[in-house]
Amino acid sequence: DVKVTQSSRYLVKRTGEKVFLECVQDMDHENMFWYRQDPGLGLRLIYFSYDVKMKEKGDIPEGYSVSREKKERFSLILESASTNQTSMYLCASSPQPGLASHNEQFFGPGTRLTVL
Amino acid sequence: QKEVEQNSGPLSVPEGAIASLNCTYSDRGSQSFFWYRQYSGKSPELIMFIYSNGDKEDGRFTAQLNKASQYVSLLIRDSQPSDSATYLCASRSYNTDKLIFGTGTRLQVFP
């Protein structure tokens, strides 16, 4: 079974703090993703990585950065947290498409971040 | 802009009935389609994917794809209260590894 883990289920931070969200997958997947999910807005892609040290902006990258130094680990960084970054953050991973795969994404349990 | 549209619901069905969840997509280059189930407060869980026109069955679930109409559906037979969740539809285009998600349909199965 694919396992995607995230460092925290719940996190409370103060405005202006630097926040690190960690994600680890154990299936040797090439692709990793960070989303945020807000009521009525669905899943919105923040950043995407298709290989170590490679990253691509998603739909809402402003206020976020990412790091992928190892294949299994993808970190999301909030340089200076703001109240509008209060949200559920979901990490996902997927294999490259191939004979047995169509890029299906597997999600971690999520981190509910509250910025006060 | 590439979009995946879903009715937000809620869709209410009695226990034992067939629940039909629908999704349309705008990008004709979409190749693969995915259905996820998300319980309240939990992360999305993959139910199944489909990439060929027609039906694909897995237990009580059947995914249907009609590329000409740009339409994907998920049928849940013998619906159970434990099926009550939000169902997300997603598509992938041929030239990307990213998925485009709909906002989900909330399903309620009542006893």
Cβ-defined contact of B99 to A102 (cutoff 8 Å): no
B1 pLDDT higher than 80 = no
DSSP 8-state class, residue B18: P
| Residues on chain A touching B1 (C-beta within 8 angstroms) | none
Amino acid letter for position B28:
R
What was the pLDDT predicted at B93? Answer: 83
- Cα A85–Cα B33–Cα B48 angle in degrees, nearest 5: 95
| Residues on chain B touching A106 (C-beta within 8 angstroms) | 46
Taking the C-alpha atoms of residue A91 and residue A22, their distance in angstroms, rounded to an integer, is: 9
Confidence of residue A98 (pLDDT cuts 50, 70, 90): low
The string of pLDDT tens digits covering residues B21-79 is: 999 999 998 889 999 999 999 999 999 999 999 999 999 999 999 999 999 999 999 99
- Residue that wins the pLDDT comparison between A45 and A104: A45
Residue A44 has φ and ψ, to the nearest 5°, of -120, 130
Cβ-defined contact of A102 to B97 (cutoff 8 Å): no
Provide the CB-side half-sphere exposure for B88 (13 A, CA): 26
A72 pLDDT higher than 80 = yes
Q: Tell me the longest C-alpha to C-alpha distance in chain B.
A: 44
Q: Which residue of A has its CA nearest to B95?
A: A97
DSSP 8-state class, residue A53: T
Cβ-defined contact of B97 to A90 (cutoff 8 Å): no
Cβ-defined contact of A103 to B88 (cutoff 8 Å): no
Return the SS3 of A84. helix
| Residues on chain A touching B44 (C-beta within 8 angstroms) | 43, 90, 107
CA distances from residue B74 to A84, A85, A112, B18, B48 in whole angstroms, order as listed: 34, 33, 29, 10, 9
Burial of A6 (0-12, 13-18, 19+ CB in 10 A): buried
Which of A50, A90, A96 minimises the CB distance to B43? A90
Tell me, yes or no, if B42 comes closer than 8 A to chain A by beta carbon: yes
Nearest-CA distance B31 → chain A (Å): 9
The string of pLDDT tens digits covering residues B93-103 is: 877 888 999 99
The string of pLDDT tens digits covering residues A47-70 is: 999 999 999 999 999 999 999 999
